[in-house]
């Protein structure tokens, strides 16, 4: 066993990941193209367009070719780094997406970090003081946080903090038309990151609590206590370190949910990220951009899963044979 | 969520009545779950008897009552932008949202249970294919998938149900598969196999009934998820279409009115939160009742 | 605040508008002008106030402009940006007058600009105009733009006005001669919407469809240059000091993208946004917006009219009695007053009240559900056991579709559904996302009825041949936009005459008659003429709402802040 088994496992999982990615792209492509409506629809109501113009535009985009031809042509291009051009403005898809990635990354990372810190802290305290008032309140709070529709929370937050209290801006990445200022940017980040982070805090808090409880009951913790190690050190050095392992897998698995949350948050807070791009592209039926975003997020999710699986496999040899 | 509960008590499968008794004892100790169960029953009754309770037509437009605040002009919870009664719309919307929730849950559970059992029992190529398929589906971030699907079909109760189910079956499949993997090694299964029972028979008569616990948990959580997802899609405008009301599309209409008529926006959100929280707590309670020690196993 | 009720009468006298055009031309030729200010150096007869130098204006848009090449397929918000970056030969102002832009003067019969009864146009171009990169603008650029649009390998937006051109010649650097295949009255309007692109940049490019010019580095002759872009957030335009009509007073214009109309309004309220672009402010906020301090609200007509479209391919709608009854049963006033807060004006035809061809004498709508019931009864539509009228086994139950998510339209549908239920007609609402409903469902006439807002034609031209002529039913012939599949030989003849007649007075008579015929026949049910509510911060001068252009940035070179 050991390293060899791990390498084989890794190789197998990578191959499977590639297959999955292929399936995802095929499913996504078929879905988009077989559905009603098309990219020429946005011009349909314009007074200067005729039906021939619309047909011509559809033809120029290659949309009247049989679907398998279109898919193969897309796939070939994709694998060689050419993700195609946007139907909306002819821009290179890679560029269109790359332009929007930074904003989403900033949002997700801030939400993630805050959620992580608060969630871990809350989970640890809950575990250590199990069944206390704090624990009960935290559990209730976490449950409610998981159940609130994020967009509603966001709208309420905007209403309270922006319209009623006038303390925070109602959206945007920074003050419009003003030059870049860090403080200004941070102020604009608070509400969106907070809204996005609420759900994550809840999940992290509950899992940390559960993982810590698992670990705290273990023998080696009792041994450490018997040896006279102080409570604080027991928690932080022994319990937490071991509880972190399953939490790593959780982090990997959270990725798709975070993307989803980011999409809604970006819409409400006028945040110029990838989620917003996705919604707009759906409206325009901008297939190349949609495929690009789909494959990108699917890759990230699969990578996240892969890393989580690898970490788990490294610890638990039984898993390698699954 | 991929936390999986190993269902039956480790070791042997005991007599069904005894297990049921233990299960109930554990369940009622979980107070939030009990409260939630009552809340859900209440919501369910309110939805079914929406007409009788509200005493107003949720579709009746009366512009003279436009944006009436709560307790004004006979509207307990106020009126919306077309003068329609918020309370009756809320209750009828509950019907829609809960129906979508339960229907999606049913489809999700059936598909998930069948696929999970197949994967877990038959193993081999079938298992690998199903697993990879599940993985592929899970790699689509849910909202992306939902939005893409919803934007492309004519929105209706049926299409919403299908779309939500399509993005939810994977979790159930994994949970059931995990459970089956454990069960199949146990004596009663090997015994049945030895006696010559066919695979189908084993799956149907022996394995599936023992996954009821897991499925119940998965089902409850999937209702919660379904209600939330329906509200997301309807909010974005791709879900249940007006004039039919769902909690989600009531919020869509209401976001412009936060400043002028906040009650139109607050109540539907509160209802969603209430319903989803209840189902989540219920699922939690069921999970605790089945096995108080959460054991995480990766399939 | 502009009092728009006065304007329809103002525009009725077309003979006055003709001679005004000639005055314009003369003024342009001599370089002098009445009430001129340093800003508008040549030609425009408008009382432009002098703003102070400098400053920026933030325009909010609910869609993101990303297409910078004006002849590529684009949407309205892109056009808003094109107004700043590019010029056309002439533009249409809010009074439906043509203002020469790159042309020195408007071509008329009198000055020899229009020859051979509208078959030839001789256009004198302005001298000394430079592109943003310093190169001179010449007639070659005009010829190139036309040829690019007609190039089969180039994905142009629309060929209207160019299809009809037989040839474009350039006798010298500042003259263009355009020969048409046959007289085409909307020519002026179509070329008013044709923005000139630089030959020296685009002719050398390998593929003009994917040139960087289109999305990154547009070069025009307009009052502004592209300053920068933050994807998904905003677009920055900076002033072009060498603009031929005088450098703009503003330093910068920022086009901010805010996808949600409610959020857009909130940010306007909060002062982050100076001008609410294009879609403006939603009617439901009008009463609040009116009383906001520090802003001016301009409600004004946009050229679109809201209708209920019938699909005449469906035999039920071929019956005039049915259409009439549905019109009588519809409470138009309630829709306008209660859903749209009384802002739009009810119309009986396809043109807005600001059009020079608007027929104000059409029979007015009457809300009379009893009469509606009577008409249906007499036509043989009797109520069945389910309350829905039927005749010969066919029920009066049909779908009505519009863009999903458009709240005001949804409210309108709810009202109309209730109205029609009262006379025994069952209307089912089936809304769909925009990309679905305006695809084949609309273009190939797959609908039963629609609730739709249509702008008949570009600018102020009343021509709508493409939309209602029987030869242009796309579902049958593959070409045209007569999606309602309406066929009426009288209408056909009037439409054909309308595009051939050059004399405006005679054309007007034709279109007045056309509106009458369509109204009597009730080809579709006209509801109201759109009112766009535009919000502008107080202190901005020279902001002029214009019903004849797609968007309100048409004269952004004149904008500025109060001195």
Q: C262 contacts in B (CB within 8 Å)?
A: 255-256
Q: Which residues of chain B have pLDDT under 70?
A: 1-19, 54, 141, 143-144, 150-153, 253-255, 291-299
CB C122 within 8 A of CB C107: yes
Q: A176 contacts in C (CB within 8 Å)?
A: 58, 234, 254, 256, 267, 272-273
Give all chains having 3 or more CB-to-CB distances under 8 Å with chain A.
Answer: B, C
pLDDT band for C320, please (50, 70, 90 cuts). very high
Put simply, the answer to whether B135 touches A20 (Cβ < 8 Å) is yes
Is the pLDDT assigned to residue C21 strictly greater than 70?
no
Average pLDDT over residues C479-495: 89
Decide if A294 touches B, using CB distance below 8 A.
Answer: yes
| Of A283, B244, A88, A59, nearest in space to C438 by CA | A283
List the single range of A187-196, B147-156, C331-340 with lowest mean pLDDT: B147-156
| Of A199, A201, A188, nearest in space to A150 by CA | A199
CB C107 within 8 A of CB C121: yes
pLDDT of residue A319: 54
Q: Chain C: residue nearest A97 by CA?
A: C231
Put simply, the answer to whether A267 touches C215 (Cβ < 8 Å) is no
Is the pLDDT assigned to residue A107 strictly greater than 60?
yes
| Of B207, B162, B157, B151, nearest in space to B182 by CA | B207
Task: Please tell me which residue, C33 or C420, carries the higher pLDDT value.
Answer: C420
pLDDT of residue A245: 65
| Of B49, B119, B39, B107, nearest in space to B282 by CA | B39
Decide if C495 touches A, using CB distance below 8 A.
Answer: no
Our CA-based measurement puts residue A193 at a distance from the nearest CA of chain C, in whole angstroms, of: 18
A235-290 pLDDT, tens digit per residue, is: 676 666 666 666 666 666 676 667 767 888 888 888 999 888 988 888 888 889 98
CB B274 within 8 A of CB B231: no
Residues with Cβ within 8 Å of A263's Cβ and at least 6 positions away in sequence, in order, are A275, A276, A278, A279, B141, B143, B144, B147
Put simply, the answer to whether B140 touches A294 (Cβ < 8 Å) is yes
Q: A28 contacts in B (CB within 8 Å)?
A: 140, 148
CB C113 within 8 A of CB C178: no
* Percent of chain A at pLDDT exceeding 90: 6
Decide if C452 touches A, using CB distance below 8 A.
Answer: yes
Task: Please tell me which residue, C61 or C109, carries the higher pLDDT value.
Answer: C61
pLDDT of residue C103: 92
Q: What share of chain A is helix, strand, coil (3-state, %, to 5)?
A: 80, 0, 20
| Of C157, C97, C435, nearest in space to A47 by CA | C157
Strands (E), C52-102: 56-61, 90-92, 98-100
Distance of alpha carbon C153 from alpha carbon A141, whole angstroms: 61
Q: A50 contacts in C (CB within 8 Å)?
A: 158, 160, 466, 472, 479-481
Give burial (CB, 10 Å; 0-12/13-18/19+) of B164. Answer: buried
> Residues C466, C469, C473, CA angle at the centre, nearest 5°?
80
Mean pLDDT across chain C, nearest whole number? 84
Indicate the residue of B63, B151, B255 with minimum beta-carbon distance to C338.
B63
Q: To which residue do tokens 């080696």 refer?
A: A220
Q: A158 contacts in B (CB within 8 Å)?
A: 258
Neighbours of C294 (CB within 10 A): 9
| Of C555, C551, C557, nearest in space to C534 by CA | C551
pLDDT of residue C229: 92
pLDDT of residue A247: 67
Is the pLDDT assigned to residue C449 strictly greater than 50?
yes
Neighbours of C563 (CB within 10 A): 10
Interstrand relation of C275-276 and C56-61 (parallel, antiparallel or unpaired): parallel
Decide if C429 touches B, using CB distance below 8 A.
Answer: yes
**Residues linked to residue C345 through DSSP beta bridges, in sequence order:** C529
Backbone angles phi and psi of C188, in degrees to 5: -60, -45
Is the four-CA dihedral B260, B264, B266, B269 of positive or negative sign?
A: negative
Put simply, the answer to whether B269 touches A144 (Cβ < 8 Å) is no
**Residues linked to residue B215 through DSSP beta bridges, in sequence order:** none
pLDDT band for A79, please (50, 70, 90 cuts). confident
CA dihedral B149, B154, B160, B163 (to 10 degrees): -30
Is the pLDDT assigned to residue C106 strictly greater than 50?
yes
pLDDT of residue C528: 93
Residues with Cβ within 8 Å of A47's Cβ and at least 6 positions away in sequence, in order, are C303, C454, C455, C456, C457, C458
C91-103 pLDDT, tens digit per residue, is: 888 887 889 999 9
Q: State the angle between helix axes of B124-139 and A3-34 in degrees (0 to 180), rounded to the nearest 10.
A: 60
Neighbours of A186 (CB within 10 A): 12
Task: Please tell me which residue, A284 or C127, carries the higher pLDDT value.
Answer: C127
pLDDT of residue C559: 93
pLDDT of residue C318: 92
C135-165 pLDDT, tens digit per residue, is: 999 999 999 999 999 998 888 888 888 988 9
Our CA-based measurement puts residue A203 at a distance from the nearest CA of chain C, in whole angstroms, of: 30
Our CA-based measurement puts residue C485 at a distance from the nearest CA of chain A, in whole angstroms, of: 13
State ipTM.
0.82
**Residues linked to residue C237 through DSSP beta bridges, in sequence order:** C226, C253
Distance of alpha carbon B27 from alpha carbon B48, whole angstroms: 27
Strands (E), chain B: none
Put simply, the answer to whether B242 touches C414 (Cβ < 8 Å) is yes
Here the tokens at position A316 are: 């638990």
Decide if A268 touches C, using CB distance below 8 A.
Answer: yes
> Which DSSP helix (H) or strand (E) runs through A74?
helix A67-79
* Percent of chain C at pLDDT exceeding 90: 47
Put simply, the answer to whether A36 touches C193 (Cβ < 8 Å) is no
Is the pLDDT assigned to residue C226 strictly greater than 90?
yes
A127-186 pLDDT, tens digit per residue, is: 878 788 888 888 888 888 888 888 888 888 888 888 788 888 888 888 877 788 888 888
| Portion 227-256 of A in contact with B at CB < 8 A | 246, 249, 253, 255-256
Q: A305 contacts in B (CB within 8 Å)?
A: 135, 138-139
Distance of alpha carbon A153 from alpha carbon A149, whole angstroms: 6
**Residues linked to residue C130 through DSSP beta bridges, in sequence order:** C136
Q: A282 contacts in C (CB within 8 Å)?
A: 435
pLDDT of residue A23: 82
pLDDT of residue C478: 74
């Amino acid at each position: 066993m050991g390293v060899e088994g791990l390498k084989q496992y890794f190789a197998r999982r990578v191959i499977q990941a590639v297959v999955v990615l292929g399936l995802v792209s095929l499913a996504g492509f078929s879905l988009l193209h077989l559905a009603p409506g098309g990219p020429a629809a946005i011009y349909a109501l314009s007074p200067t367009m005729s039906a021939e113009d619309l047909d011509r535009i559809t033809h120029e985009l290659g949309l009247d070719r049989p679907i398998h031809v279109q898919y193969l042509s897309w796939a070939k291009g994709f694998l060689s780094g050419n993700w195609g051009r946007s139907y909306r403005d002819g821009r290179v898809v890679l560029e269109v997406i790359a332009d929007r990635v930074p904003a989403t990354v900033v949002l997700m990372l801030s939400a993630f970090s805050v959620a992580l810190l608060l969630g871990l802290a809350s989970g640890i305290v809950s575990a250590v003081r199990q069944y206390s008032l704090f624990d009960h309140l935290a559990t209730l709070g976490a449950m409610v946080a998981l159940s609130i529709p994020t967009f509603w929370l966001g709208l309420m937050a905007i209403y309270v903090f922006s319209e009623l209290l006038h303390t925070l801006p109602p959206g945007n990445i920074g003050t419009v038309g003003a030059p870049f200022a860090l403080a200004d940017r941070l102020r604009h980040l608070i509400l969106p990151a907070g809204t996005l982070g609420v759900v994550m805090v809840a999940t992290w808090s509950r899992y940390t609590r559960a993982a810590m409880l698992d670990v705290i009951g273990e023998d080696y913790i009792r041994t450490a206590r018997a040896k006279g190690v102080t409570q604080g050190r027991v928690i932080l050095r022994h319990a937490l370190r071991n509880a972190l392992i399953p939490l790593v897998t959780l982090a990997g698995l959270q990725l798709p949910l975070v993307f989803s949350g980011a999409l809604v948050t970006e819409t409400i807070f006028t945040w110029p990220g990838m989620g917003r791009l996705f919604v707009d592209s759906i409206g325009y039926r901008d297939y190349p951009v949609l495929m690009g975003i789909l494959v990108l997020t699917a890759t990230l999710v699969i990578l996240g899963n892969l890393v989580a699986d690898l970490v788990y496999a490294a610890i638990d040899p039984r898993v390698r044979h699954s | 969520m991929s936390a999986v509960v190993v269902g039956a008590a480790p070791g042997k499968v005991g007599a069904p009545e005894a297990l049921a008794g233990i299960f109930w004892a554990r369940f009622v100790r979980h107070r939030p779950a009990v409260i939630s169960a009552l809340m859900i029953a209440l919501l369910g009754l309110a939805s079914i008897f929406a007409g009788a309770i509200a005493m107003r037509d949720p579709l009746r437009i009366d512009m003279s009552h436009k944006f009436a605040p709560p307790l004004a002009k006979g509207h307990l919870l106020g009126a919306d932008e077309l003068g329609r009664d918020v309370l009756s719309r809320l209750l009828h919307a509950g019907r829609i949202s809960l129906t979508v929730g339960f229907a999606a849950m049913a489809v999700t559970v059936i598909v998930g249970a069948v696929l999970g059992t197949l994967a877990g029992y038959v193993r081999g190529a079938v298992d690998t294919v199903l697993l990879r398929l599940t993985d592929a589906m899970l790699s689509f971030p849910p909202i992306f998938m939902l939005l893409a699907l919803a934007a492309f079909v004519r929105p209706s109760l049926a299409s919403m149900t299908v779309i939500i189910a399509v993005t939810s079956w994977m979790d159930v499949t994994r949970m059931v598969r995990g459970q089956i993997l454990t069960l199949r090694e146990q004596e009663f299964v090997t015994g049945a196999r030895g006696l010559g029972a066919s695979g189908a028979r084993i799956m149907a008569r022996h394995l599936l009934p023992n996954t009821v616990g897991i499925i119940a948990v998965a089902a409850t959580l999937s209702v919660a998820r379904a209600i939330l997802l329906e509200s997301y899609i309807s909010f974005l405008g791709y879900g249940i279409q007006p004039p039919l009301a769902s909690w989600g599309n009531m919020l869509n209409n209401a976001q412009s009115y936060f400043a002028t008529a906040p009650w139109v926006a607050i109540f539907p959100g509160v209802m969603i939160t209430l319903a989803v929280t209840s189902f989540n707590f219920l699922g939690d309670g069921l999970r605790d009742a089945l096995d108080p020690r959460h054991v995480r196993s990766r399939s | 605040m502009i009092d728009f009720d006065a304007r329809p009468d103002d525009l009725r006298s077309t003979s006055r508008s003709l001679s005004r055009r000639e005055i314009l031309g003369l003024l342009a030729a001599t370089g002098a002008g009445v009430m001129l200010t340093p800003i508008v150096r040549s030609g425009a007869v408008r009382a432009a106030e002098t703003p102070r130098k400098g400053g920026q204006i933030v325009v909010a848009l609910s869609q993101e402009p990303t297409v910078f090449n004006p002849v590529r397929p684009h949407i309205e918000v892109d056009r808003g940006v094109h107004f700043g970056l590019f010029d056309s030969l002439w533009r249409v102002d809010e009074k439906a007058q043509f203002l020469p832009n790159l042309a020195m003067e408007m071509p008329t019969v009198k000055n020899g600009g229009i020859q051979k009864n509208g078959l030839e146009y001789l256009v004198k171009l302005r001298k000394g105009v430079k592109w943003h990169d310093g190169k001179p603008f010449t007639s070659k650029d005009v010829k190139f733009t036309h040829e690019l649009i007609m190039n089969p390998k180039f994905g142009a937006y629309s060929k209207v006005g160019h299809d009809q051109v037989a040839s474009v010649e350039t006798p010298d650097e500042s003259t263009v001669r355009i020969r048409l295949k046959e007289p085409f009255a909307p020519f002026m309007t179509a070329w008013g919407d044709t923005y000139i692109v630089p030959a020296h940049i685009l002719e050398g490019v390998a593929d003009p469809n994917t040139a960087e010019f289109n999305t990154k580095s547009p070069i025009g002759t307009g009052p502004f240059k592209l300053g920068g872009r933050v994807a998904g957030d905003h677009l920055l335009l900076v002033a072009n000091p060498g603009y031929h009509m005088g450098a703009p007073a503003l330093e910068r214009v920022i086009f901010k993208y805010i996808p949600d109309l409610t959020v857009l309004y909130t940010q306007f309220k909060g002062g982050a946004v100076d001008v609410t672009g294009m879609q403006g402010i939603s009617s439901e906020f009008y009463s609040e917006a009116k009383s906001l301090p520090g802003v001016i609200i301009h409600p004004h007509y946009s050229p679109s009219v809201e209708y209920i479209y019938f699909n005449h391919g469906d035999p039920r709608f071929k019956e005039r009695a049915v259409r009439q009854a549905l019109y009588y049963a519809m409470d138009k006033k309630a829709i306008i007053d209660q859903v749209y807060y009384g802002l739009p004006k009810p119309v009986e035809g396809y043109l807005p009240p600001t059009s020079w061809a608007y027929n104000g004498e059409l029979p007015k709508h009457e809300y009379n559900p009893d009469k509606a019931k009577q008409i249906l009864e007499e036509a043989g539509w009797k109520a069945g056991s389910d309350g829905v009228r039927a005749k010969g086994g066919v029920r009066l139950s049909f779908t009505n579709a519009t863009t999903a998510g458009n709240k005001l339209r949804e409210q309108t549908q709810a009202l109309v559904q209730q109205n029609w239920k009262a006379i025994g007609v069952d209307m089912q609402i089936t809304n769909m996302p925009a990309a679905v409903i305006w695809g084949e469902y609309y273009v190939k006439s797959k609908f039963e009825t629609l609730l739709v807002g249509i702008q008949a034609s570009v600018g102020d031209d009343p021509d709508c041949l493409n939309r209602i002529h029987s030869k242009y039913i796309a579902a049958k012939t593959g070409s045209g936009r007569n999606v309602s599949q309406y066929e009426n030989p009288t209408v056909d003849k009037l439409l054909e005459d309308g595009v051939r007649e050059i004399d405006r007075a005679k054309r007007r008579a034709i279109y007045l008659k056309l509106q009458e015929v369509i109204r009597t026949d009730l080809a579709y049910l006209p509801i109201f003429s759109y009112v766009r509510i535009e919000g502008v911060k107080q202190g901005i001068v020279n902001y002029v709402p214009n019903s004849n252009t797609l968007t309100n940035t048409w004269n952004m070179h004149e904008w500025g802040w109060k001195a």
